[in-house]
Structure 1
Amino acid sequence: MAVFDANIAVAQKMYDIVRAGDFSKLDTIVTEDFEIVEADGLPFGGASRGRHALRELLERIIPILRPSDIKLKSITANENEVVGLLDLIFADGDGEFIMPVAEYFEIRDGHISRIVPYFFDTPGLTQFIARRG
């Protein structure tokens, strides 16, 4: 398998684990010094580090976000980076809110070492979360 394909596969595995809700498996696909950096403008913004950081962050924010769907639109890679483009779909009594997201991954030795998600409308997402309660 080409390195590009292997890097895409590890990112895809992360998305599959998140969709399945079995966050404990995330610890097996990240490095010991893993880091995720969320936008400061979000209620869960800031950096989290360590082997369990991704699992712990998702266990904390999924109940806040409560997406009704995650649609992976495209994924591309090079020797040590992956970018995934996705839509987070949210629903409430006022309809649907779609948040486009670009997620930047750094890959080292077949494991994810860093993720930086770029939410295209952090104020809109923050307002939606506050409105939904």
Structure 2
Amino acid sequence: MTTDPVSVLEGMYAAEAAYTGDFTPLAPFFAPDVVLHQAEGLPYGGVWRGHAGIEAFFAAMSRTWDVFELVKQQFLATASPLVVLTDMHVRSRATGRELDFPILQTITVTAGRITEVRPFYWDTAAITAVCST
């Protein structure tokens, strides 16, 4: 596997797009001690640690979203930590409602693996509202 940070993220995003509930294809992209910080107000908010935490996070996302599409991405910084601006399109499993929103992430890649992810949302209340019945 490559250690180039952009290639690591592109590989992880491709594995994420193909995610069907099996974490195995995603695991090689994450360091064993990876930390993911999600905004507390989200249905999947909190700090997720290690492979077990990331696997649980992907399961929580899958329970939350019926559709989770990365519509457009811009790599604003390509050295670690990378900065990625992504336009999202989602549909809630619970309500069937859809939402388009931007997300900005800083992602640290060390020795070819993701070690930290910090997503920043423009409007967590809108995301939560789409999921609320």
TM range (shorter): 0.7 to 0.9
Q: Residues 1-133 of structure 1: matches in 2 within 5 Å?
A: 6-21=4-19, 23-91=23-91, 96-131=98-133
Q: Deviations over 1:67-87 (max 9, x none)?
A: 252213211434421122112
Deviates most, 20-29 or 106-115? 20-29
Cα root mean square deviation, aligned: 2.2
Which residue identity lines up with residue 50 of structure 1 in the other structure?
G
Q: What is the TM-score when the length of structure 2 is the normalising length?
A: 0.83
Rounded to whole Å, the distance in 2 between the matches of 1:59 and 1:95 is: 20
Instruction: Give a deviation string over 1:80-132, Cα, whole Å, max 9, x none.
Output: 2112211221247886410211121011111100111112110000000114x
Deviations 1:20-56 (A, max 9, x none): 1153222111111100010011121110111232222
Would you say how many aligned residue pairs link Structure 1 and Structure 2?
127
Structure that is richer in helix per residue: 1
Alignment gaps of 5+ in structure 1 = none
Q: Which blocks of at least 5 consecutive residues in structure 2 are unaligned? A: none
Q: State the percentage of identical aligned residues.
A: 22
With normalisation by structure 1, the TM-score equals 0.83
Q: Is the 8 A contact 1:73 1:84 kept in 2?
A: yes
